[in-house]
Structure 1
């Protein structure tokens, strides 16, 4: 029987080329750094006045000063003014003795850059130091439409307090921060009556603000506790309708599920709670226990699709469009483990988005047994890379930090995702998932880089994977293949319609080490891999 079309397929999507060892060298050990001054804990009382774009705050900082003669430097938004900094002596109770300390301010090079506050090493000793920082000011950067296609980025804002809603994040510099700090937080947040505050961690009591404590009336104060160290703190507030469900996963883990939706969309709460439970039940067995006490779906007043520790912030437009698909809500839930429990120095190479895309956008379909949809996702990711990444604009996956446009999305999300598919094929099914679970357990509450992933997968597989990470992560490019010849011959002595296929595949440009599957389509639309 004559053979019809020959289709070369790439179900594992291999993209990069062999490279010399002096390229990026992600496996090399990092130079040891001297101990840093870091903030261990924030005890924050924040009052938010939306119609004035204003906040008034006091932050009691517990700072670790590891060596003598180390000044304390922290950042704060340029629109915020410090009223007082005091050194708390002895006990850290509210009545602890304290005295004012001098400080210097240094403005950033650009008007929007955070200002740096410096406290001399002559003022503080070593060990744990407690400072009270009182400040007030304006956070008013109204969200703008992105300068590129909206489907890959949210609206642009460094943070905004207004009558339409409140959103402040690490980019807002709305609280004192020291780079590289992994901090816990205790918050007391005051907002106008009728407003609700949402942030990371566990919510406590809400009550009317006691007389004389808040700057305006009427206000309500809510307690939040973030007990797990975090890179940053994001806080949102609006006139939400809150819905709660105390839920138990199939593994027995108890998690509070919740939605904070605008009144017009409150009827969608059950749909989002059901979808959240479905994704958690799927990913807990793969990645280990869910890292937080709660997961909340929170509606935002501007376009966004953001995943923070223990909640996701989704724009109102997509909330209304039932944003419960695996590439949407599922993607943000996977970030609970990958990115929000295991941290990533994105500027040193962002592996988080590629792995999250692989697990949510692609693997969900495999997990559900939908092989056709899984294959289609692989095809779409290949097409995205081919369409948006011409050779002259390509760069290594190891150099991806964040997506600015479709070009970055194709490299850091789609191409990187399929490299994890290839890694899974390389080390084997059982080893891949065991290594992934060990990665989460080992680096929870810590930063992991590409070199750490290489180490974990090499240890679990018992193999040297240096060639793999050098070839697929550290170099740009993609395989260039052509099928120059294919000849089918009948096998003598075999039953009828049995053939032997000999094909010549030419690899152009750079050589690549990878497995390759051929799909053969015969008459009658029969296919064989």
Structure 2
């Protein structure tokens, strides 16, 4: 059994720090190999949180080396220190480059050729408070070794592959890592029970993964809670004591619900356990068999009902079936559709969700737009729109076309065939295509490979009555006449005197078509609209698209007009950068972010902002923009912090009397910028919403 070793000399000055580390595998123990199964890599990781230090050992069985041509090259972070590379007791020549590769020359001696290749190494990590975004760390508050950070010797071209992982952690830390959790053991310092190490407060955990790729690991001074699904999957929470007492049961209950839900709809969950673990870092990450959530995120009341389900579903799409990133990343769009969107649907908010996605897209500058098929990663700005929103709408449109049953059948077949394997768009398309008689290749080719979106317009709509009932005529056109989109468009007719509505689906494959819709009722049609429920990914028309705060966030050319000593740096929590300043005398009458002028953020105290706007004949408070915006407080109310877009200009206002209030408001906009206005008191929203717009409906003349 592997033992925790405190090796002399590893604390000496000059030990290299591994800055970008993130995930941990395990195993120095020789687990039995079942006949017919491929041999497993074995990894042992030993963690010393108080010393911010790890030691690792990788053992590759001889069968994994049979195809090696004299040399093996591993990805291996340059901050790691190699102690030993050997085979059959013989040291092997090796070179660890600054580029992050370990080159090993295999010994051709027949006496050692049948033995495993063993690499032992060590590193000192950053403390949690010093780690950068996405970086690895280890300390008393917790540890994290990220997937893909090469904190162990790995050969991506040989993955996915079977791996057994053993982790020994000192200082009372518990551990979670990629794969199925097998067991934990803790040594009692007084009795020595479990004999897992020679240090006080040591825990041992073992994990197995039949198709591991880019492993991850986390540790912390956690309390453990356990539950179980109907199929016997062990569900754990690993939280600090206060969080476990307050939220552990809720997180386990919702996790069980999600595992059973997605198993029923897609196919059996790929692992024997699932763990929700806390991190001192502000993260929300999914890995094989576990998810890692920031300690400040866990108490948020909506997380168990929304974001947690998204992370659990990634164990089907992303870590159950891996995306072949050479062909793009299909996982986020599909996960958003089957988790976030479905949850909104069940709350009766699906239409609002689709509308928000299309308004965000309308706020995106044309130069930032790119096709869904080119999305590789990232969850903010243009990346979120291309990867999450555009992708989810693709699946929503496909469901309208082929039906929910066929779509889910194709996805279930895809999961069954590619679980623990890589798959790209061609494999996913083929599986869904096989579940329907339709030829889906043109659909996917367009919505994956093409940037932009259709712009639709209804011309000359009219209604007439004849002997057979009412008919509606119109011309349906799209703006791109040179390269028209192939799009299935819902036209919705509403009847007079609240007699309901009728939806007619039209296949538009040309620049324009003449329509004649035969209605199924005797009621008089009153008005008609193109896609009023936002079921097509498209450019919104001006009459259905209010300006939103997201415009300034999405445009890299956004500038700030600071007033009265306000600093552009106050916007960094929202924009993720310090914007350049703009001339305070700039013309306020230009278009929004999509127009010729870059968006400008007017930043300052409430009085300074109001004076600047008044001098230019613009509304000085959001209450002056629209009289029929009912949820805004009275104009005389003393709201501390205000963010709002000034209609018919490219200006966004951030107004509050102190730098701290303005910075707090900017931070809130990371999650609230889908609105036209946001008003806050004491850091809490008191009003938020969208400016009223006319909408897409057209009256039907006789």
TM-score per shorter chain, which class?
Answer: 0.7 to 0.9
Alignment of 1:90-489 (within 5 A): 98-108=89-99, 115-121=100-106, 123=108, 130-140=116-126, 142=128, 156-180=133-157, 181-200=159-178, 201-208=180-187, 217-248=199-230, 253-267=231-245, 268-366=247-345, 368=346, 370=347, 372-388=348-364, 390-403=365-378, 405-489=380-464
Change (3 A) 1:124 1:206: farther
- Shifted more, 357-366 versus 302-311: the winner is 357-366
Q: State the 1:506 CA deviation.
A: 1.3
Change (3 A) 1:129 1:346: farther
Task: Measure, in 1, the Cα distance between the counterparts of 2:472 and 2:127.
Answer: 64
Partner of 2:401: helix, strand, or coil?
helix
Q: State the 1:76 CA deviation.
A: 1.9
Task: Measure, in 2, the Cα distance between the counterparts of 1:259 and 1:68.
Answer: 41
Structure number having the greater strand percentage: 1
CA deviation vs aligned residue, 1:11-48 (integer Å, no higher than 9, x gap): xxxxxxxxxxxxxxxxxxxxxxxxxxxx9633222221
CA deviation vs aligned residue, 1:135-159 (integer Å, no higher than 9, x gap): 11212275679xxxxxxxxx71321
CA deviation vs aligned residue, 1:324-364 (integer Å, no higher than 9, x gap): 45530110111111111101122420000000000001123
Partner of 2:323: helix, strand, or coil?
coil
Partner of 2:322: helix, strand, or coil?
coil
Residue 22 of structure 1: aligned partner:
none
Task: Measure, in 2, the Cα distance between the counterparts of 1:299 and 1:124.
Answer: 48
Please tell me whether the aligned partners of residues 42 and 60 of structure 1 are also in contact (alpha carbons under 8 angstroms): yes
Please tell me whether the aligned partners of residues 167 and 236 of structure 1 are also in contact (alpha carbons under 8 angstroms): yes
- Give unmatched runs, 5+ long, in structure 1: 1-38, 89-97, 109-114, 146-154
Q: Is 1:516 the equivalent of 2:495?
A: no
Please tell me whether the aligned partners of residues 357 and 389 of structure 2 are also in contact (alpha carbons under 8 angstroms): yes
Task: Measure, in 1, the Cα distance between the counterparts of 2:115 and 2:376.
Answer: 34
Change (3 A) 1:67 1:258: closer
Task: Measure, in 1, the Cα distance between the counterparts of 2:304 and 2:466.
Answer: 48
Please tell me whether the aligned partners of residues 241 and 262 of structure 1 are also in contact (alpha carbons under 8 angstroms): yes
Change (3 A) 1:157 1:432: closer
Q: State the 1:58 CA deviation.
A: 1.9
Q: Is 1:502 the equivalent of 2:488?
A: no
Partner of 1:170: helix, strand, or coil?
coil
Q: State the 1:282 CA deviation.
A: 2.1
Please tell me whether the aligned partners of residues 186 and 223 of structure 1 are also in contact (alpha carbons under 8 angstroms): no
Partner of 2:423: helix, strand, or coil?
coil
What is the TM-score when the length of structure 2 is the normalising length?
Answer: 0.61
Please tell me whether the aligned partners of residues 147 and 216 of structure 2 are also in contact (alpha carbons under 8 angstroms): yes
Change (3 A) 1:129 1:480: farther
Change (3 A) 1:331 1:314: same
Task: Measure, in 2, the Cα distance between the counterparts of 1:310 and 1:102.
Answer: 36
- Shifted more, 454-463 versus 62-71: the winner is 62-71
Structure showing greater Rg: 2
Q: State the 1:128 CA deviation.
A: 7.7
Please tell me whether the aligned partners of residues 333 and 389 of structure 2 are also in contact (alpha carbons under 8 angstroms): yes
Q: Identify the structure with bigger relative contact order (alpha carbons < 8 Å, sequence gap 6+).
A: 1
Task: Measure, in 2, the Cα distance between the counterparts of 1:87 and 1:127.
Answer: 8
What is the TM-score when the length of structure 1 is the normalising length?
Answer: 0.80
Residue 623 of structure 2: aligned partner:
none
Q: State the 1:413 CA deviation.
A: 0.3
Alignment of 1:20-35 (within 5 A): none
Residue 75 of structure 2: aligned partner:
75
- Give unmatched runs, 5+ long, in structure 2: 1-37, 504-702
Partner of 1:320: helix, strand, or coil?
coil
Q: State the 1:65 CA deviation.
A: 3.4
CA deviation vs aligned residue, 1:489-529 (integer Å, no higher than 9, x gap): 234464xxxx3222222111131112111223444555413
Q: State the 1:69 CA deviation.
A: 2.4
Q: State the 1:246 CA deviation.
A: 2.5
Q: State the 1:101 CA deviation.
A: 1.2
Change (3 A) 1:353 1:326: farther
Please tell me whether the aligned partners of residues 327 and 357 of structure 1 are also in contact (alpha carbons under 8 angstroms): no
Residue correspondences, number: 454
Q: State the 1:177 CA deviation.
A: 0.8
